[in-house]
Amino acid sequence: MTILLYAIRRLVQAVPVVLLIMVGTFLLLHLAPGDIVDALVGDMGGADAAYIARLRAEYGLDEPVWVQLWIYMGKLLTFDFGWSFVHEQPVSVILFDRLGTTLLLMITSLSFAFSIGVALGAIAARRAYSLTDNIISTLGLIFYATPSFFLGLMFIVLFSVKLGWFPVGGVQTIGSFYTGWDRVIDIARHLVLPTASLSLIFLAFYLRLMRATVLEVAELDFVRTARAKGAAEGRLMIHHIMRNALLPVVTLFGLQFSTLLGGAVVVETIFSLPGLGQLAYQAVTQRDMNVLMGIVFLSSILVVVVNFLVDLLYARIDARIELT
């Protein structure tokens, strides 16, 4: 019951943020040169002024700005992002068609980055300033400095072109019509390289933070208490240090999700994955503003949802948070 109340409170807190993002996308659309009517008219190859004015009235573009904002926000609430003149489809249909691929990439990348990053960070901190730590920390620094698109290209050169282990792009082998487990394995093979190139930089984030917090927590008073109780190092690590050191890492997990989603643009483009990121890039080059703004809004909602879930998780694992 208390967790439900807490959840509702967090949701209510997210409302102003979502409203601000709605206003933001509206403003961006307004700032963009040309509106729907220009696009329509351009599509038709020109029209007379009276017809253009009638079109504007039809689309509500002659109303005052705040009325337009009101109408726009109402549409966003129902996920109505308008019409794409490039794809000749409603934007929402295109977006939801692409959402799955992006989510799949997000989930694999995050789980990989989080689990490996946390584990390596803990090991590095445990053996601080040793050879193991130096190797892990150096790897972390290099991953941290490598842009995902460069990493992706070099992976393609090495693993696809030279070694031929993994496919160069796409989510599944075209024309193969695999079903069942064969299909799962096929998709998994296609996802290995994109996941690796997207997640290594985030793995480095978690690794560095985990290492730092483990070192910090290890100095705290209650760890000294546990030592004075006669607890051995392994027990200290599992029950006393890790439990507390994980909390800031979980927080970072929520904060980083939006950056990760941004990173998907480049990785999906390189590996020709038909997701939201690739679509965003195409929308920019084709000047399909409705699609681009739809992606801005939808991806933000995704971030809000993930942060909400992370908040709930955090409330479960941090005993200090009072749910009431």
Partner 1 sequence: MTAPAAPPPVLEMVQVRVALPPGSDRPHALEALDLTVRAGETVCLVGESGSGKSLAAGAIMRLLPEPQVRMTGGTVRFDGTDLATLSEPAMRALRGNRMAMVFQEPMTALNPQKTVGWQIDEVLRLHTDLPRRARRARVLEMLEQVRIPDPASAINAHPHQISGGQRQRVMIAMALALKPRLLIADEPTTALDVTTQLAILRLIRELQRDQGTGILFITHDFGVVAEIADRVAVLRHGVLVEKGPAAEVLNRPRHAYTRALVAAVPALRPPAPRDFTESPVVLRAEAMRKTFAARGGFLSGRRKAVVAVDDVSFDLRRGETLGIVGESGSGKTTVSRCITRLLEADGGRVTLDGRDILSADARTLRAMRADIQMIFQDPQASLNPRKRVVDLIAQGPMVHGMPRAQAHARARQLLELVELSPAAADRYPHEFSGGQRQRIGIARALALEPKVIVADEPVSALDVSVQAQVLRLLADLRERLELSMVFVTHDLRVAAQLCDRIAVMEKGRVVETGPTAALFAAPTHPYTRALLSSIPGRDWSPPDTRHDAA
Partner 2 sequence: MSLADPIAPGGATPTRASVFWRRYRRNRAAVLGLVLLGGVLAMAALAGFYEPGNPLRRAAAPLIPPFTDLAVPLGTDQLGRDILAGILHGARISLLIGLVATLLSIGFGVLVGAVAGYFGGWVDDVLMRITEAFQTVPNFVLLLALVAILGSRIEYIVLAIAIVSWTAPARLARAEFMALRKREFVEAVRNLGVGHSSIIFREILPNALPPVIVYASVIMALAILLESALAFLGLGDPNYASWGNMIGQGRAVLRTDWYVAAIPGVAIVLTVLSFSLVGEGLNEALNPRQKKG
Binding site for partner 1 (CB under 8 A): 6, 9, 12-13, 220-222, 224-232, 235, 239-240, 243-244, 318-320, 322, 324
Binds partner 2 (CB under 8 A): choice among 5, 154, 220, 238:
154
In whole angstroms, the minimum distance from the beta carbon of 161 to partner 2 comes to 5
220 binds partner 2 (CB under 8 A): no
In whole angstroms, the minimum distance from the beta carbon of 93 to partner 2 comes to 20
| Residue number with CB closer to partner 1 (5 or 184) | 5
CA–CA distance, 16 with 235 (Å, rounded to integer): 44
CA–CA distance, 1 with 271 (Å, rounded to integer): 45
Cross-strand bridge partners of residue 84: 89
Strands (DSSP E) contained in the chain are 83-84, 89-90
Burial 255-290 (b: 16+ CB within 10 A, else e): ebbbebbebbbbbbbbbebebbbbbbbebeeeebbb
Q: Which two tokens stand for residue 85?
A: 């003149």
Residue 322 contacts which entry, partner 2, partner 1, none (Cβ below 5-8 A, type-dependent): partner 1
Cross-strand bridge partners of residue 90: 83
Q: Which two tokens stand for residue 142?
A: 């290099």
91 binds partner 2 (CB under 8 A): no
- Which residues from 180-219 bind partner 2, rule CB under 8 A? 215-216
Residue 299 contacts which entry, partner 1, partner 2, none (Cβ below 5-8 A, type-dependent): partner 2
CA–CA distance, 41 with 268 (Å, rounded to integer): 32
Residues lying near partner 2 in the complex (CB under 8 A) are found at 16-17, 20-21, 24, 28, 31-33, 128-129, 141-142, 144-150, 153-154, 156-157, 161, 215-216, 255, 258-263, 265-266, 269-270, 277, 280-281, 283-285, 287, 289, 292-293, 295-296, 299-300, 303-304, 307
